[in-house]
Every structure is written in C-alpha cells, then in structure tokens.
Amino acid sequence: MYNLEKIDDYRWRIPKSCKAGMRVDGVVYADERMIEDIRSDKAAEQVANVAFLPGIVKYSLAMPDIHWGYGAPIGGVGAFDIEEGGIVSPGFCGYDINCGIRLVKTNLKEDDVKPKLKDLVYGLYNDIPAGVGSKGDIKVSASEERKLLVEGSKWVVDHGYGRAEDLEYTEERGAVKGADPDKVSPRAYERGKNQSGTLGSGNHFLEIQTIDEIFDEEIAGTFGLEKGQVTLMIHSGSRGLGYQVCDEYSKDFIRCLSKYNINVPDRQLACAPVNSDEGKAYLGAMRCAANYAWANRQCLMHLARLVFEKVLHMGPKDLGMDLIYDVAHNIVKIEKYNINGKEKMLCVHRKGATRAFPPGHPELPDKYKKTGQPVIIPGDMGRNSYLLVGTKKAEETFYSTAHGAGRRLSRSAAIQAGRGRSISRELENRGIIVMSSGRETLAEEMPEAYKDVNEVVSVVHGAGISKKVCKMRPMGVIKG
Amino acid sequence: MKRYEQFPHTADIGVRVFGVDLKELFENAAFAMFDLLADLEGLKGDIVKDFEIKAPSKEELLVDWLDELLFNFYTKSIIFFKFDVREISETGLKARAFGRPVASNKNRLKTEIKAATYSDLKIVKDGSGYRVEIIFDV
C-alpha cells in the first residue's frame, strides 16, 4: 500500500522514502474521489518504480487517468536529462507506439446526421478494416514502406489519402524527425505489412459525435466549432509494426542493463542511456513506428471522409471535414526545458499521456499560436469526450496532460458484468449506434468499465495543466 | 490441475499459469495466450511448426516463446491450439506447436494481444509445481 500525501486539491505525492532506490518523488494528479481507486491496485507502485530510472528530472508523474499498466503506469510521464545519463525505455513508451487520437470537424449538425446515422455507422464498419490482425487495402512495397516510415502522414497524403493541410494540424506534421528505417527489424516490417489503414482492435475506435457544450467560445470559434456540430474522432496506433519494435527493443534492453550498470525494479522498465548505441537505435526505430501510426490515422480519416461523402451524397467542400488536430499519447520525445535556470534537452516519455503545448509555442501551427495546442481526451462510448488546449502552467508536467478516461474494471470483470445484457441495445436506447468486430469487445468496452472522463477532465482543468474548450457526446461508434 | 486462470488487471489481461514442471508451464502459457486470442474449442488442424529458442533466463525464455508464437499467428495466420515442449532448460527449449489457418476460422477470433510483457514476471516453484503470472498487452 502506497502512502499518497496530499499536496493540494489536485496533486498527491509519493515521497521517495517510500521505496529504496527512488531518485525523486512521485506526483499523481487526482482528486479525493479518485485517490481510493488509485490506492487499490499497483498503479502507485508503478509510479514509484519509474522514479528509479537514471537521469529522471523533478518527479515521476501520473495524470488523473492513471491506471495499472505494465512497467510504467498508464497515464505516466517521466523526463530524463540526456546530459546526465538520462535514459530511454521502450517499455515506458509502450507496445502501441504513437497510439493516438485525431479529431475531425464537419459542417454538419446533429439533425443532418440523425436520419442517416445507421447508414454512416454501417458504412464506416464496412469500409474500414478492423479487428484482430486485420489487413488493409493499402499495399506498400518494401522500398516504399521504408519511405513511409520516414515521411509518415506526408507519404500517404502524396499517395492520395488526404490533403496537404492535414499535415499542418498533425503533431510533428505527421512525421517526427530522426526516424531510421534500418533500425526496424525485418520481422517488424513483416508484422506491419498490409496493416496501413486498419483500425486494430480493443479500445481503438471511430466515433461520430456532436458538440454538447462549449466552455470557451473564443477558442472554439478559432477551431470552427459550435454547439450541435458533428465531429469525428479516430483512435488507433502503429499496429503490429509498433508492437514488434517495442517487443524486440525491450528484450535487447534487458540484456544490456548490466553493461550500463542500471538496476530496474521491473524488467519491463529496461532502459539504456539516450546517448548510447542502443538508445539511439531504439529512438530511430520508435520514430519509424510513430510515423507509421500517423500515416495510419491519416488513411483512416481519408477512408472515413469517403464514407461520409458516399452515404450523405455530399462533396468534400460541403462536408467540411477538416482535421482539428492529431495527438500521440504513447511516445518518447526529445524536448527543451528550462530546469533551474538552465536549458536542458530532456527525453520525455508519455505513456497514456498527451502533449499539451501552451500558446505561443514554436512547434504549433500559426492558427493555434494564440489558443495553445488542441488536446483531445476521449471518454468511453456512452459518456463524453473533450477538446482542451495546452497551458503555460503545464510546464510543471513537461507539457503533458491526461489522454482518456482510464479503465476502472478489468476486461474479464467487464465481460462478467455484461453477461446476459446487450450493450449495443442499451446504447441504442440512449440514441448511440455501436458496431464492433470483436465478439467480446462491446462488453469489455462498456461505459461502466471506465472511470468517468468528466472527473478526469475536471482534474486537469482544475489543476490548470489544460483548459476545457468543448465537450462532445457520442452518436455512432465503431470498435475494433 | 487447472491450466490457467485470469486474474484482474485493469488495463490489460493478466493470467496465472500452472504446471507440474517447466515443460507443462510453458505449454499451458501458450495455450492460455491462444485461448484468449481465439475460441479453441474443438479446433483441429494439420499445421505443425517446430521452435528452438534460447534466452538468458527462464522468464525471458517464456516471453520469447510466447512472442514467437504470436509472431507466427500474425504473419503466417496460424491459430495454434496444441503445444508439445520436447526439451526445456532454464535457458533454452525445443517445442512443436499444432495449428490451423485463421482463414476459415475468423469468427473464432476474440482479443488482439499485442505482446506478452515482462512486467513483474517471475516463475515461482512451490510444493505443487510451477506458477507464473503473465500480463498481456491487449
């Protein structure tokens, strides 16, 4: 049982005295109601375990959607000082490298879509490959695949899947620099083959939503959003390619721990200095997987736009399906911070956490320089999702915020709770149409399996590490 | 003896696997993984595949074994349903797995497993045999 000391209404400290070997304290963002859930499993211990890793700066952080993962908790953030032997850990990035989410606006109103909602959901379900090991229609030769891993979203846009301006509104413009296709093994290529443009399974989804409430009219206006408008959300990652990259580098890193004299409390946190051959190789491969994921979400958005055009008999101009933003929530980035008056290059790990750059940040597109970076936080398929923006105060979390609701029930407990019930009927009674390819996915993903995203968002908003812009409500959902 | 059971894990899937010896533990771990991936009930097939794996420790050997099978599932589209570990030490194994193509059995697929993780992985031996808790990323 971990001792969580209250710092203020939204922050809790795990003192480094909790476990011998912690280099810094842990800090968890949560409110009183959540803290009991957090105490009840191993998530807090995983925050403490991250604090063991060499070069960690300030504290081991967890966002309010924290839950028990593998190695690091989901919702975990850690920054490592590269000059001071700071590490990179494949397990702390996670298997689904650049699992992430994008939000697309439309010019449609809820009432325009309602009569055609079922057709739209069926259309998305039919035209977008999803489910265990699904394969896509987009075939890429081996030499082109290497280009895709370097160019990310741009490669797919150049091949007809989307528009040039989509890149402007994607984190890193859909291609993080430093991707090295030579560091991706033939097995990883093989596992990722033919999976571009596929959704995946489990918690990956496409969701048609409508805006229920606006919190900041001015910023919503900049994004071209108003109450009653229909949006589309896409959640997917790097598919088999990313899983294989993480798997192979985790294995390699366990085997070189003694070489760098690093002790980890859990093998899953195996790591190597950023400035080692192993660290550089992993970053080269991880960035390829990240770019693959951006390309994948770009393909998925393109396929979804075509479904909307086909079902609603409307052209792209009238539909106005512009990308608001695309954010990664499982990724490692090299970012510059001012630490105690000194400029430092830090290796920032976000595992189930979203980057949230403040207004004026140089990495943001011009249109968002004043608003701050859009932050997309999906909830479960029965409640809400949110659009927020980054703030200056988030410097204290290395410009990171929550990424979702966070699970409350295990998958088996959810399936148990779903026995004898039809989740799709229950949701349909509430006006939400859902379809899924996995037999047990709907039960696993049922609303009560998740924490209430409204509480998660109220913590990040209350703590000031991001600011609410608007809230969406689901209308139609496709699950993998 | 029970081959495996699920234990509650919030984000992923946790299984507790049992075996009288290491051989059976590894066979049951593979069975547990495919039992989560697909409905194996009554599955028959004639694909036979041999594996030879080496690793620095028995825990890493277990993950390598499971990942090797998973790699074959995803890239060769084979559902494995029976496992025979023929030789095993703490650092190496020789095994044969029996399976059938996914193609005609798509409706049997259940959960996508991304990988077997190393998280808190420890093979324990007690009076009744071997036991290990594995967390699968799903």
CATH 1.20.1250.20 is the classification of domain B4-137:
no
Report strand pairing: A74-81 vs A87-88. Answer: unpaired
A346-360 confidence digits (pLDDT tens): 999 999 999 999 999
In this structure, are residues A32 and A20 in contact, taking their beta carbons and an 8 Å threshold?
no
Structural Rg of chain A based on CA atoms: 21
Q: Select the residue of A74, A201, A270 nearest B11 (Cβ to Cβ).
A: A74
Q: Hey, is B3 helix, strand or coil?
A: coil
Q: Select the residue of B11, B117, B138 nearest A68 (Cβ to Cβ).
A: B11
Is B75's CB within 8 Å of A411's CB?
no
Mean pLDDT of A247-265: 96
Structural Rg of chain B based on CA atoms: 14
Set of chain B residues whose Cβ sits within 8 Å of the Cβ of A266: 118-120
pLDDT at res. B38: 92
In this structure, are residues A403 and A65 in contact, taking their beta carbons and an 8 Å threshold?
yes
Residue B28 has pLDDT above 80, yes or no: yes
Is B73's CB within 8 Å of A133's CB?
yes
Is A91's CB within 8 Å of B117's CB?
yes
Set of chain A residues whose Cβ sits within 8 Å of the Cβ of B59: 267
State the pLDDT confidence band at A232, using cuts at 50, 70 and 90. very high
Q: Which CATH number do you get for residue A320?
A: 3.90.1860.10
**Which residue is it, tokens 């703590």?**
A463
Set of chain A residues whose Cβ sits within 8 Å of the Cβ of B8: 410, 412-413
Among A67, A204, A329, A403, the one annotated catalytic = A403
Q: Which amino acid is at A350?
A: R
Set of chain A residues whose Cβ sits within 8 Å of the Cβ of B9: 68, 410
State the pLDDT confidence band at B119, using cuts at 50, 70 and 90. very high
In this structure, are residues A71 and A78 in contact, taking their beta carbons and an 8 Å threshold?
no
Interface membership of A379 toward B (CB under 8 Å): no
A16-59 confidence digits (pLDDT tens): 999 999 999 999 999 998 888 888 889 999 999 999 999 999 99
Q: What is the dihedral of CA A460, A461, A467, A473, to 10 degrees?
A: 90
How many residue pairs bridge chain A and chain B with CB atoms within 8 Å of each other? 114
Mean pLDDT of A76-103: 97
Closest chain A residue to the Cα of B107, Cα to Cα: A439
Closest chain B residue to the Cα of A92, Cα to Cα: B119
| Pairwise CA distance, residues A113 & A211, whole Å | 13
- In this structure, chain A runs to a length of 480
Tokens coding A410: 């295990």
- Our answer to whether residue A403 is catalytic in this structure is yes
State the pLDDT confidence band at A1, using cuts at 50, 70 and 90. low
Set of chain A residues whose Cβ sits within 8 Å of the Cβ of B123: none
Is B10's CB within 8 Å of A70's CB?
no
Q: Select the residue of A42, A131, A190 nearest B109 (Cβ to Cβ).
A: A131
B103: nearest Cα among B59, B48, B58, B47: B47
Is B112's CB within 8 Å of A407's CB?
no
| Pairwise CA distance, residues A388 & A379, whole Å | 13
Mean of the per-residue pLDDT values for chain A?
A: 94
Hey, which residues 420-449 in chain A have their CB within 8 Å of chain B? Answer: 438-440, 444
Is B119's CB within 8 Å of A251's CB?
no
A295-328 confidence digits (pLDDT tens): 999 999 999 999 999 999 999 999 999 999 999 9
Which range marks the domain in which residue A144 is found? 5-479
Q: State how far residue B69 is from chain A, nearest Cα, in angstroms.
A: 13
**Which residue is it, tokens 């895709």?**
A148
Hey, which residues 276-315 in chain A have their CB within 8 Å of chain B? Answer: none
Strand order in the sheet with B47-54: B47-54, B92-101, B78-88
What is the total count of domains within chain A?
1
pLDDT at res. A407: 86
Q: Select the residue of B12, B37, B59 nearest A70 (Cβ to Cβ).
A: B12
A112-162 confidence digits (pLDDT tens): 999 999 999 999 999 998 877 677 777 788 888 999 999 999 999 999 999
Best mutation target, B66, B72, B119, to test chain A (most A CBs within 10 A): B119
Closest chain A residue to the Cα of B134, Cα to Cα: A70
Tell me how many degrees the CA angle A417-A422-A423 measures, rounded to the nearest 5. Answer: 70
Tokens coding B128: 């009744």
| Pairwise CA distance, residues A27 & A33, whole Å | 17
Beta bridge partners of residue A102, listed in sequence order: A234, A326
- % of chain B exceeding 90 in pLDDT: 82
The backbone region for A204, taken as left when phi is positive above 0, alpha when psi lies in -120 to 50, beta otherwise, is beta
Q: State how far residue A82 is from chain B, nearest Cα, in angstroms.
A: 25
Is A268's CB within 8 Å of B112's CB?
no
The Cα-based distances of A69 to A93, A352, B8 in angstroms read 11, 10, 12
Residue A99 has pLDDT above 80, yes or no: yes
Q: Hey, is A448 helix, strand or coil?
A: helix
Spell out where A20-169 has E strands. 25-29, 59-67, 74-81, 87-88, 100-109
In this structure, are residues A261 and A274 in contact, taking their beta carbons and an 8 Å threshold?
no
Residue A95 has pLDDT above 80, yes or no: yes
Q: Select the residue of A94, A266, A411 nearest B13 (Cβ to Cβ).
A: A411
Q: Select the residue of B8, B11, B102 nearest A413 (Cβ to Cβ).
A: B8
Q: State how far residue B54 is from chain A, nearest Cα, in angstroms.
A: 12
How many other C-beta atoms lie within 10 A of the C-beta of residue A221? 12
Is A410's CB within 8 Å of B137's CB?
no
Tokens coding A182: 């030579």
Mean pLDDT of A224-253: 96
Mean pLDDT of A390-414: 93
DSSP string, A173-217: GG--TT--GGGS-HHHHHHHTT-TT---STT-EEEEEEEEEES-H
- ipTM for the complex? 0.92
The domains of chain B are located at: 4-137
Which H helix or E strand runs over A165? helix A164-168
B77-97 confidence digits (pLDDT tens): 999 999 999 999 999 999 999
The alpha carbon of A145 is separated from its chain's Cα centroid by a whole number of angstroms, namely 23
Best mutation target, A41, A243, A403, to test chain B (most B CBs within 10 A): A243
Mean pLDDT of A92-102: 97
State the pLDDT confidence band at B103, using cuts at 50, 70 and 90. confident
